[in-house]
Structure 1
């Protein structure tokens, strides 16, 4: 008997549509599950966006959450050709007379001229000292040229801070030794032992590089190691470096040239005002995001409700704050309009910064009491591992994993169901087709008998 290769061929019925319709009914639980998965994925994505806004909120709160945040100072040199300066939070406002009497310099020594960098100098051991530290360089037939000696010095594993180079002028090639650091403590001296010409101090062979300030000086001094010397309001400070840190508390001077000028350290109220504006912007952005998510994928989400309530509780507390004559932000120029948007009255803020700086700073930064300090602590708890957001995301991901397992089971059952239905309808199609053939045969036989 012929096999039915496609449903309905034997009977002429649209069995394929019947099976498809039945499978559509069977798939409805799976479709509902996939719809739920799509919603959860959208919620996870929404939490990702929300977490990004929380990160920005936390950063803005941190910029005002500690007393050091308000110690923002700027250092202004009246003559930046002589020196510049930078300041840290430990600086204090003030003005200083700066007199640079000497700039720190490196030690630099040069040899007499050789024919070229391939000239053979001699063999032996160079002992090079940089201040109190020294290292030895063995020179033999493999590296006895001027270039070989330069490379051997630079590649010495225990090099204590000297760089060798070759300068070629009209007279020939010269080996130049330069200390890597400035200051008298980094002065260079060179001695030789085992010179192949038998003399460790003459001007030929390896001993041509011998140098001891005030002693044998076979090298010429190009520049002498010097310390920086600076008078600050009449007090002298000496430094091996031109970068002088904490001669003035919290200030680093960068000396450039000899001369006198003034250094002014002032509080940078503009930077503080910028942080206050970022504080307000971060709050408004966070509230806008909460409103957007509550009318979207995270509608009626308890996590958002909790965060919003906690933030508003901080602003509505109105408790006294240690070190501040203010209890509310509005007293310092930060208020909310009728739509709940935080606004900053910059004129008022600048006025308070000038008249009662400590109260303003503590209003934000007092430990456990200041507005920014408390909000940063809250943001930390929201964003920490196993915190409010992390726990919510973990819960959603766990639901997705369970649904993935359910989905696999459903798809397996659907596959078996479709196979069963197709087998049943194929058998029916074959049977009906056979019956129709038999019926047609009987009819044709009866017709023949009637004709006879």
Structure 2
């Protein structure tokens, strides 16, 4: 309510205080808006850079750039993976036999006890497990013998187990490794003629061989073709660039002739896999370029949040520098990567196919090899995204700036409150004085 002289001290004090603080409020508001916009812009850029880093990691740390695939004419015989340097080719092969380990069965009575004397020797791959039977508990029987074999410190790969059938217990001795070199020999000596020793000796003499140690063998080119062997069921690198694992042998008649058609194996460029593998990288890179351009390129009538900030442009410049410098001996165009005038990428899968056809493995090496483009791009992102990386430090710096503005705003509010109280006091005294003067004049 206005006083008698028409002046409201509170409104007058508020008006003068507001006029005094308006330019300071405007300055703080402008600074806060600018720093907030920069912080938000760098947050969005960081998100796009993290997406690019993740896309690269998924490719470089996973199965790699799958530019070739393997096909078989029939299922169940084999599987394969392609490695760098594999040539596109077609093969015919037979799986003659699978790799096996030696396995023997020793038939003993269920109530057999361990003899008080004797030494059991089991030799495998030139290493002998020598077990002194006198050190075992006689009453432990077959279970004790099995455990002693499995737990022996000089056991180089013999696995013992028990199988019970038709009132007898069979001690199964199996080699842990496959291959023709893994043949097993079993000998018993040093006994004193006791029945338990004789029974074990008889079981060893009458042992049944359930499986014979042998290499895996394939015939490349069909029956009678080039014979390849492996101590395991995996043929790694014997066919250049292929890791082949066999799982079933081809059937043969009584004369050793194959009864089925040979297995066809085809190595071919997988264009769909190439495009799919790299599309995520290209999309993530283009999203980053678009985000940086949005925040650094001003439009008519408005200024971009990072228009005067060189860090974002420096980030793009670093990545573009890496892309413009592919590994020696191959150009970016040969790799199937095209760049438009805005700096964004697109795929040319036809060019990729030509390179893969003419130089198998070159595409993988150029992208994911030790000095490949993606390997170097991933290295480029680390200084920005590490725990104390450039973008993290910039975010902290911008937040510190916002915190300082908040402190200045708080100090301004406190100071302007004092200014208001000063003006209020002055106008209140003026109003009181005016009222006293009016009262004095009314007496005359």
* TM band (smaller chain): 0.5 to 0.7
Match of 1:283 in 2: 285
Instruction: Please state if 1:257 is matched with 2:254.
Output: no
- What SS does the corresponding residue of 1:166 show, helix, strand or coil? strand
Task: List gaps (5 residues or longer) in structure 1.
Answer: 1-20, 211-216, 422-452
Residues 396-411 of structure 1: matches in 2 within 5 Å?
397=396
Instruction: Please state if 1:158 is matched with 2:150.
Output: no
- What SS does the corresponding residue of 1:150 show, helix, strand or coil? helix
Query: TM-score, normalised on structure 1?
Result: 0.62
Instruction: Please state if 1:307 is matched with 2:293.
Output: no
In 2, Cα distance between equivalents of 1:131 and 1:365:
40
In 1, Cα distance between equivalents of 2:398 and 2:270:
51
Residues 29-48 of structure 1: matches in 2 within 5 Å?
45-46=43-44, 48=46
Selected match of 2:229 from 220, 238, 245? 238
1:344–1:47 CA distance, 2 compared to 1 (3 A): closer
Please tell me whether the aligned partners of residues 113 and 171 of structure 1 are also in contact (alpha carbons under 8 angstroms): no
Instruction: Please state if 1:248 is matched with 2:242.
Output: no
In the alignment of these two chains, the number of paired residues is 371
Instruction: Please state if 1:177 is matched with 2:173.
Output: yes
Match of 2:126 in 1: 132
In 2, Cα distance between equivalents of 1:391 and 1:355:
37
Spell out, residue by residue over 1:341-375, the C-alpha distance to the aligned partner (whole angstroms, 9 max, x if none): 644466xx37x7259955999799769xxxx9567
In 2, Cα distance between equivalents of 1:33 and 1:151:
78
By how many angstroms is 1:105 displaced?
1.6
In 2, Cα distance between equivalents of 1:142 and 1:49:
71
In 1, Cα distance between equivalents of 2:73 and 2:216:
19
Residues 108-127 of structure 1: matches in 2 within 5 Å?
108-115=103-110, 119-124=112-117, 125-127=119-121
1:161–1:328 CA distance, 2 compared to 1 (3 A): closer
- What SS does the corresponding residue of 1:273 show, helix, strand or coil? helix
Question: C-alpha root-mean-square deviation of aligned residues, in Å?
Answer: 5.2
In 1, Cα distance between equivalents of 2:58 and 2:157:
44
Residues 26-425 of structure 1: matches in 2 within 5 Å?
45-46=43-44, 48-56=46-54, 58-59=56-57, 72-115=67-110, 119-124=112-117, 125-138=119-132, 139-141=135-137, 144-195=140-191, 197=193, 202-204=198-200, 207-208=201-202, 210=204, 217-233=205-221, 234-255=225-246, 256-258=248-250, 260-291=262-293, 299-300=306-307, 301-310=309-318, 334=338, 336=340, 342-344=345-347, 349=350, 353-354=353-354, 357-358=357-358, 377=376, 380-384=379-383, 390-394=389-393, 397=396
By how many angstroms is 1:249 displaced?
1.3
Please tell me whether the aligned partners of residues 60 and 278 of structure 1 are also in contact (alpha carbons under 8 angstroms): no
In 2, Cα distance between equivalents of 1:136 and 1:254:
35
- What SS does the corresponding residue of 1:247 show, helix, strand or coil? coil
In 2, Cα distance between equivalents of 1:98 and 1:360:
23
In 2, Cα distance between equivalents of 1:136 and 1:111:
18
In 2, Cα distance between equivalents of 1:363 and 1:220:
54
Query: TM-score, normalised on structure 2?
Result: 0.63
Match of 2:438 in 1: none
1:190–1:283 CA distance, 2 compared to 1 (3 A): same
